[in-house]
Copies of this chain bind each other. A is one copy, B any other.
Amino acid sequence: MSAQNYQLLIKHMLANCAAQASRKHVVYKGERRFTYPQFISRVHRLGAALAARGAVFGTKIAVMDWDSHRYLESYFAIPMLGAAIMMVNIRLSPEQIAYTIDHADAEMILVNRDFAPLFDAIKPKLTKLKTVIYLSDEPAHDEYEAMLDAAEQTQKFPDFDENTIATTFYTTGTTGLPKGVYFSHRQIVLHTLTLMSTIMMAGVNGRISREDVYMPLTPLFHVHGWGFPYAATMIGMQQIYTGRFIPATVLKLLAAENVTMTHSVPTILHMLLTAPEGAAIDLSKLKMIIGGSALPGSLCRAAMARGIDIYTGYGMSESGPILSISQLTQDLLNDCATKDDEILLRTAAGQPGVLIELAIMDDDLNILPRGGSATGEIVARGPCLTEGYTKDADASATLWRGGWLHTGDIGHFDANGMLHILDRSKDVIKTGGEWISSLTLEDVIMSHPAVSECAVISVSDPRWGERPLAIVVLKPEQKATEDEIKSVIRAKTETGDLSRYAIPDHIIFAPSLEKTSVGKLDKKKLRTLYTTTQAA
């Protein structure tokens, strides 16, 4: 490989951070702190130790840990060997975890001893596994630190083709077994560069810089921690990793480490805002990107009231993930006559990132012209999208039909190129010839002061095609009747904000709602559960 034929490799992202960020740290639970020169040395020693244990070009190495410095080190050292890191979704069922590790052909695993009971139970099913390395915060039970202590830091990471697979993980769709997606070195580097360019070009809200203190509140196994750990490391940001997610610990770290930048799903934000331990914490320096599911306007408002600079990112496992970000420009802010207008923009899916092409496609695979009211499935092209699903040519072809990656989301663009998601294509309710967004309806119902959580699903209807059904969880000690909930919705139909077909025929009160492994409403389960109830 000649110097002229430069390959986009993950190792190049580490070219300058040791020298330029020599006084910044990678911090684990506030208990361990590594300077960047130490971090770089550890990455080299991890690479040497894994190579000594048999990792070669192409080896699949699974990681099963809480968010930690070890995980971040694995993000770099494993791919830099030419091996691929498989990030295990620890919130899947044991059967699914076993399936994904085995399906990914993992021959080596780094597994936190906290998962030992689960891991022991599934180990017989891991047919390709040869090497297990146990991680623990307890030095006596930690093979990881011992392995690094014994390793040489003179490890040289090889050059190879930038299209070498660097990462893989599994996504739980709405049907069937988990599906593996995979990303090359080139894609990871380009995702880092486009994410950085997109997020750092902001001039008004959400500006992020190398001076920020970063702490992810989405797990590192979830779509590369949304790509931010790679970016934060490349530019040498102070980084905080929380270990096992415990609200009180997280809130303490947030304050003690002066965290200024994070990202999470709406449920985590909700927890932060409502946890008693968080009431006294100053959140006014915090920039926070919400993704994973739609950010309800009420939650956005509550975050802004605490001083959080909050906005939305949109993407999916298949897209690496970031496709768009709802940072606001001065022009857009000037357009906002009220706080409600601003909230509508901050909770939108956002403007596509640099180099990322998003379009609306109809059912016949035609790209619809921009502008006007064109609504349909969002499809994407860009430099960081998975080429397909592991060992699943049919699903890959479906994902990429018509030469675009299909998101499965229904949306439209406004005049400023801002993407607004109506709903998942599977969740949108087609009733009386109109499309009702389950998300919008949930947001309206959530505005009732007694409502804690809500899910809206469609049930088939002989007359209208489909009808919305709302399942509502009330706040502790609060009461509301079906009619009271409906009247909140009716008010919105009278102002024209909602179609009159949006008023559900029934409201069901439930003690809790089914969630997926990453904390989203599990509408597949909810449909199974409640459409049966409904039909009965």
Q: Which residues from chain A sit less than 8 Å from chain B, CB to CB? A: 2-4, 6, 8, 12-13, 15-16, 18-20, 22-24, 189-190, 193-194, 196-197, 200-204, 207, 209-212, 234-235, 329-331, 351-352, 354-357, 370, 381-383, 385, 387-388, 400, 403-405, 413, 415-417
Contact = CB atoms under 8 A, between A and B. Distances in A.
Given A197-B193, A388-B4, A416-B22, A329 B211 contact: yes
A19 B235 contact: no
Contacts of A210: 201-203, 329
Given A22-B417, A210-B329, 12 more contacts: A3-B405, A4-B387, A4-B400, A6-B385, A15-B354, A16-B356, A18-B417, A19-B351, A197-B200, A197-B234, A197-B235, A200-B209
Contacts of A202: 209-210
A416 B19 contact: yes
A209 B207 contact: yes
Given A16-B351, A352-B16, A413-B19, A6 B383 contact: yes
Contact of A193 (B15, B19, B193): B193
B196 A355 contact: no
Contacts of A329: 20, 210-211
Contact of A382 (B6, B20, B234, B351): B6
A357 B12 contact: yes
A400 B197 contact: no
A211 B19 CA distance: 31
A384 to B, nearest CB: 8
A379 to B, nearest CB: 9
A193 B197 CA distance: 7
A3 B417 contact: no
Contacts of A356: 15-16
A201 B193 contact: no
A20 B417 contact: yes
Nearest to A383: B6
A214 to B, nearest CB: 12
B234 A354 contact: yes
Nearest to A371: B19
A16 B13 CA distance: 26
A2 B400 CA distance: 10
Contacts of A201: 196, 200, 209-210, 235
A80 to B, nearest CB: 14
Contact of A204 (B18, B211, B330, B331): B211
Contacts of A18: 417
A491 to B, nearest CB: 34
A212 B200 CA distance: 13
A415 B22 CA distance: 9
A20 B351 contact: yes
**Nearest 9 pairs of A and B residues by beta carbon:** A19-B417, A203-B211, A203-B209, A200-B200, A193-B193, A196-B197, A3-B403, A201-B210, A20-B417
A354 B383 CA distance: 18
A203 B212 contact: yes
A357 B400 contact: no
A370 B22 CA distance: 14
Contacts of A209: 200-203, 207
A329 B381 CA distance: 36
A312 to B, nearest CB: 16
A9 to B, nearest CB: 9
Contacts of A13: 354-355
Nearest to A212: B203
Nearest to A334: B23
Of listed A8, A16, A403, residue having the most chain B CB within 10 A:
A16
Contacts of A235: 197, 201, 354
A355 B387 contact: no
A404 B15 contact: no
A256 B215 CA distance: 43
Contacts of A203: 209-212
Contacts of A352: 15-16
A12 B355 contact: yes
A147 to B, nearest CB: 27
A383 B186 CA distance: 12
Nearest to A22: B416
A357 B383 CA distance: 23
A4 B397 CA distance: 11
Contacts of A22: 415-417
